[in-house]
Structure 1
């Protein structure tokens, strides 16, 4: 009887440990899984990434507005170079944002982005964007950061998008968490370029 009770308790204890470890694993996996879900579905205004421009364009036009914010921990000024632009569905647009490092040392920024209304995220496609990689700015350096995009013509076939005439593309720059590692890597790359015959350093 004691052996049966001991085995039953062992099974219950093992199940509880399995449940706890499973919950911990799910917690760690939830962020990347949520990010993947957003990237695939456009949930929360997450935009899509395209490898090629749209194959067709439609006469229906959409106004794209541009917004920029900077986290207080990053000593940059950051703004869009244009307020808005009007494009046909499927037409490729090229916009630019300007960033300037106001610190007296190199800093690394990383951008998060979304569009509003949220439901437009699945139709907003980026071809090129500064947000795909971390950005390093030297003291006082100012740069124009381009973004190439289009609004998928398939949006015209979605009844839920019939009321959408304006999409706002927003970026917020934050200080990169791995700033020191990125700066060390860039410095190492610069040293290698100087050591290589015929190499020319670039900013």
Structure 2
């Protein structure tokens, strides 16, 4: 009698274990998108914000923006800011340009990761337009300007912990893309400069 009662319990334990494994597997797949969403919403780790409109006014307070550009190993590009620093008023929309050149003998596609430092300013650094929103494909020897339109949100003035911030660094690193998405910008569909 004890043997027949144990069989349903073993099945229940096995079903519970499979359920736990499935839940852990699902959580591991959801972790990266959820972490990225958390970073975009909170500015955690220096993640910048994406804005659909600029603020209506600017403050007198200024901050110096430093620009940094890097290329990860495996991507045959040169990538750097055209201007190293820029002084902006809080709430003022500005345009910065980065220059990228494919120094290889074949088309290469890259995607940019980005952040700002100090990290706590990420929640206030907003981009209206950026080359980093899409993959970029450059033909051999091709050299282009890559714009980023941005502002520092005036609400930073409400955070007294950031009153001493006088400089923000915007940093990009381009990484190679193994299989470009079809939506990548190519030479044919880029605006003429």
CA contact (8 A) 1:89 1:151 kept: yes
Asked whether the 8 Å contact 1:77–1:100 carries over to 2, the reply is: yes
TM value normalised by structure 1: 0.88
The question of whether the paired residues in 2 share the 8 Å contact of 1:115 and 1:169 is answered with: yes
Aligned residues: 191
Instruction: Identify unmatched segments of 5+ residues in structure 1.
Output: 194-201
Give runs of ≥4 in structure 1 deviating > 2 Å.
1-4
**Residue matched to 2:109:** 108
1:97 aligned residue: 98
Q: Secondary structure at the match of 1:146?
A: strand
Q: How does 1:1-203 map onto structure 2 within 5 Å? A: 1-179=2-180, 182=182
Give the aligned partner of residue 197 of structure 1. none
SS in 1 for 2:178: coil
- The answer to whether the Cα contact below 8 Å between 1:54 and 1:152 also exists between their aligned partners in 2 is yes
| Separation of aligned partners in 2, 1:25 and 1:42 | 25
SS at match of 1:171: strand
More helix by share: 1
How much does 1:177 deviate? 2.7
**CA shift at 1:176, angstroms?**
1.1
Relative to the length of structure 2, the TM-score reads: 0.92
**Structure 1, residues 99-124: CA drift from partner, whole Å, max 9, x if none?**
00011111111100000011000000
**Rounded Cα–Cα distance in structure 1 between residues aligned with 2:78 and 2:142:** 11
Query: How far 1:4 sits from its partner (Å)?
Result: 2.3
Q: Give the Å deviation of 1:182.
A: 4.1
Contiguous gaps of at least 5 residues in structure 2 = none
1:8 offset after TM fit, Å? 1.5
> Does structure 1 conserve the Cα–Cα contact (< 8 Å) formed by 2:62 and 2:88?
yes
Task: Kindly state the Cα deviation for residue 186 of structure 1 after the two structures are TM-superposed.
Answer: 7.3
